[in-house]
Amino acid sequence: MFALLLSTLVAQAAPAYLAACPAQEAKVLFTAPVLAPDGIHPTNRRARFFLDLGSDGRIRHVGLVESSGDSAFDSAALDAAQHFRFAPPTQGCISTSSVVPEDFNVPLLALARPVPGSSGAPGTMTLPTAPPASAVAICGPPFVQLKGIDVPDARQPPGTVEVDVALDASAHVTSAKLAKSSGNPKTDAVAVASAKDAGYGFLLATGCPAKATTYRLELTYH
C-alpha cells in the first residue's frame, strides 16, 4: 500500500538508547470500506487520495488527487479515508508526521455500460475489457514526505514539537521555525535543528508541477 523509511546517519556509531526504540514504518491499523451510493457513473477505475498524518497517526488532512469521475463516489471514498487509523513511523524514539497514498477502486459493475443496439434482453450490459481513460490529476499544494532525519546522540525529554519548514520547488529547506512548543526548550531546539537538516520530497499527482510550500513537521519524542 505504501512505504516510508526514515534514514539515519551511518558514519558514526548509533546511540545506545536506540535499542529501546526499534524503527518502524507507518502502518495501517484500521480501514473503512467505501459505501458507494447506487447509480454512480465513474469514468476512471479509481479515486486516489494523499493522507497527511500527524506524529500520533491521526489524519490531519486528506487531499483528492485523482477523481473517479463521479463526485458521489469520490465523496464516499473521502469519508472512508477519513476513518482510517494509522501507527506513525518511528525511529530513534521519535515518531514523525508523514504522508501516504491511498487508492479506492471503483466496483467493476459501476463501469459496465449498456450494449448499443444489443439484441439481448433489456438492460444487457458489457464490462470494460480495458481500463477507462487515465484519471485527470487534481493539482493543489504538494504533499511533503520526510525522507530522512538525523537521530540525536542522546534521548530527548518527551514531548511533541511542531515546526514550520519552508521548502522551495526542489524540496530544499529555506527556513525552519518553531510553530508549537513541547513545553521544554531543549526538546524544541533539537526539533527545530533536526527539521532544518532533514531531507524532504514532494508527493505529487501525475502531471502536477512541484512548487514551494510550507510543511508543518510534527515530531514526538518518547
Q: CATH number of the domain that 90 lies in?
A: 3.30.2420.10
The CB density around residue 70, as the number of other CB atoms within 10 Å, is 21
Q: Is residue 152 a part of any domain in this protein?
A: yes
Predicted pLDDT of residue 92: 84
Please answer whether residues 87 and 57 qualify as being in contact, where contact means their C-beta atoms are separated by less than 8 angstroms: yes
- Return per-residue pLDDT of the chain as tens, 222 residues: 434 444 433 334 567 887 778 889 999 999 999 998 888 989 999 999 999 999 999 999 999 999 999 999 999 999 999 999 999 999 889 999 999 999 999 987 777 666 665 555 555 666 666 556 666 789 999 999 999 998 888 899 999 999 999 999 999 999 999 999 999 999 999 999 999 999 999 999 989 999 999 999 999 999
Q: Is residue 117 a part of any domain in this protein?
A: no
Please give the C-alpha separations between residue 52 and each of 26, 31, 115, 119, in angstroms, as whole numbers: 12, 15, 42, 50
Q: Is residue 77 a part of any domain in this protein?
A: yes
Predicted pLDDT of residue 157: 92
Q: Is residue 99 a part of any domain in this protein?
A: yes
Q: Is residue 119 a part of any domain in this protein?
A: no
| Grid-cell match 514523525, residue found | 96
CA angle in degrees (0–180, nearest 5) for 133-139-144: 120
Q: Are strands 113-114 and 125-126 parallel, antiparallel or unpaired?
A: antiparallel
Domain membership of residue 148 as a residue range:
17-111+131-221
The total of structural domains in the chain comes to: 1
Predicted pLDDT of residue 87: 96
Q: Is residue 4 a part of any domain in this protein?
A: no
Quote the CA–CA distance of 183 and 41 in Å, as a whole number: 51
Q: Is residue 9 a part of any domain in this protein?
A: no
pTM of the predicted model, to two decimals? 0.82
Q: Is residue 11 a part of any domain in this protein?
A: no
Predicted pLDDT of residue 91: 87
Q: Which residues contact 176 (CB under 8 A, 6 or more apart)?
A: 163, 164, 165, 166, 192, 195, 196
Predicted pLDDT of residue 110: 75
Predicted pLDDT of residue 122: 54
